[in-house]
Structure 1
Amino acid sequence: MKKILATLALVAFFLYACQKTDVQHIDHVTAADLSDAKDLSAMIQPMSNDYASIPQDPQNPLNADKVELGKLLFHETRLGLNPKQTEGLHTYSCASCHHAEAGFQSGLTQAISEGGSGFGIAGELRIPSAIYQTENIDVQPIRAPSLLGSAYQDIMLWNGELGGVGLNIGTENLWTSDGNSNNFTGLYGLEILGLASRQKHRLNPDTAWLASNETYKNLFDLAFPELPDTERINSRTVSLALAAYQRTLLANQSPFQRYLRGDLKAMTKAEKDGKSLFFGKAKCSNCHNGPALNSMQFVALGMNDMQNGVNGAFNVAPDNRESKGRGGFTGKARDIYKFKVPQLYNLRDVTALGHGGSFSSVEEVIRYKNAGIPQNANVPLSQLSKMFQPLGLTEDEIGKLVKFVRDALYDPNLVRYEPASLPSGNCFPNNDEQSRIDRGCQ
């Protein structure tokens, strides 16, 4: 009898221990988590090879070979063919200003393409080259936006001027620049971006060289089998391949995305609380929504423009059209100082945020929006978004919201979108001497 009692006691002990372990295992997963994950299912990003689920231009259907071709072309410094100084030949690429290490933006207040020197670890050490005349360096008067989630934008740039669709229908009389005149093709903004880069960023597809390179020639044949052989390598197909690749740039390994797909332990308790604030009290989702947490809205939040001498910026012309936001394109008073709502993934490693790079961290932006006091005295109060009001968040709530945006939206493995090497053998994203040293290319 004693043996039976002892055995029963032992079984009871193990049952209790297992139950206790199970309780500990589920940790902070609650019934609310299950409901939230279901309710927010519209925020789920597809896998990057699930082409049927990725938004795309009807004129540019995705396929694996086109995406692979675009990946190589995006990083190919051999396409840096139109430099202002001969020293810049073949030293820059699309990725010079939009690289994986900084969440497909530059990581700097002002991105530097041709005329830059160095890279560092995540682009933080790129500086103007000492052998360049300042006026010849390729910089823009506005921060380079991230390309993550760009599949969820039908028009591109902070002012939305690229793209012959969506909100740009009815603006045809404004399609007069070297870049936005491509809108007449009826392509989406992302597909036009590569065409515009010829004028705006001194890139040019060397079609003769691409045709002579076996790797590129084979990929163009596979990517565009519907075209005659003689029409497969040109500026348009290069731009379409670039866009195809950029549409696959999704932060779908971030904790928030894993949580939405059913891994309810992917986020910490504080990050989950921050999520509730994001979609609730803080009202962030009024503007930042959908799979990329962006939108096609243009809003004025009174943030400072880029200024010469601030955070290393230079060559910023006074009264430049880029600093006028949507109004710089449309010319309409109601659009002045209104900028397109950006995506929010992978901002942790970025030290310049806002269209003018006037914020150095996610926390600074959240505190700015919580206070509801504009930075830029040039923006009339009448232009400010009605949503730009004090939020009344406590310090604890600010901390939790920061954790959600900074950490739960951070995909730690964006380097999966980089090629192992280039068919040219060149270094990327830059091929200047210091960048080659920094990247271990020599």
Structure 2
Amino acid sequence: MSEKLFGTDGVRGKANSWPMTAEMALKLGAAAGRFFRRDQNEHRVVIGKDTRRSGYMIEYALTAGFTSTGMDVFLLGPVPTPAIGYLTHGLRADVGVMISASHNPADDNGIKLFGPDGFKLSDEAEAGIEALMQDGVPLSAPGNIGRAKRFEDARGRYVEYAKTTFPYRKRLDGLRVVVDCANGAAYRTAPSVLWELGAEVIPIGVEPNGYNINDGCGSTHPEAAAQKVLETRADIGICLDGDADRVVLVDETGHVADGDQIMALIATRWAEDGRLAGNTLVATVMSNLGLERHLNAKGIDLKRTAVGDRYVVEEMRAGGYSLGGEQSGHIVMTDYATTGDGLIGALQFLGCMVETGKPASELARVFEPVPQKLVNVRYKQGAQPLSAEAVQEAIAKAETRLGHDGRLLIRKSGTEPLIRVMAEAVEPALLDDVLNSVVDAVQAAS
């Protein structure tokens, strides 16, 4: 194994191709089991998954690996990723595993690992597990092999916990809610939580067949929920992704609100209530400039991180902040969860609707976004376009022209040979001109 196994969010790839093979999953399970099983006492791991067909293969391979090093395995079945963080800590497990490729197509899959505190593993822990995989993992004696069993109460425990995050003694009576579960991990939990809180629930994306996860539905395709909201005259639409750690919302007019708008509302409300730790929101470099301006006008600080919810969480934990997330819909609330939680994020928004009596359309348009465009430029193998002098000059000129009225972000994709060029500007004409100048330079050097 010469290539680095862990990426920015665990291990991910196409099912039955490296690294998402049964063989690799077995080795990973054994290495992770040995890494966390430091003595002869009983140790346990919880394993959840989304609804991909390949999840069975990965689940059983991981189970074999963990039990071979003496870990007892609790198999939770399809549950949202945030439920793994919650149950790893709640069940006093040494490690938690979520088998999911999040918003990716069904042919992909992934493995996310959580430590005993319910948070995703650090870079150091991942490096330690990779080192064990390369050096070889000592297996347990026959009498110390672990056991595996289904844990039937996992979904119910998460449902009950999620309801406790809704405002005390408030209900959703009288609200008609469309919830699109992306044919993924929350296809049972999300409708149950909303119904038990009193909403009239119209579920879509709740018929998984192993291959239709994220297929024309969920947070990456909110048009399905928007159509259903208009068709049924619903008050709001909630769009989750395949593992339910992200959310986008649809108001009663069919307008889509992304993670920036949701974070803006929650941050503003929490700041007013004195609940926003450090009076700070943590977001990535992709969040809109309009969000930053809105927060600053309210006296709220915005700290930006690299793209990826793990970097958001790292900054939140380091600074003691309680709210963060991504434009894509990861909403991280450390008062409630150890990772992004799409359902609990939606419940916070619904709580604002109930407490204020305002429609979703009013609450979901907190700030006016600064025009933003993103262009992906593919480069040839071995090329280093960002190092080219002409590209550096184009970037410098673009940043000078934008000044304080815009932003420019250029970064290399971590999974594909792409340069992502993102620009924001108050003036649309300036936005197009600046973006095109940089894109042209990158293309010429690619």
TM over 0.5: no
Higher RCO, 1 vs 2 (CA within 8 Å, ≥6 residues apart): 1
Q: Which protein is richer in strand relative to its size?
A: 2
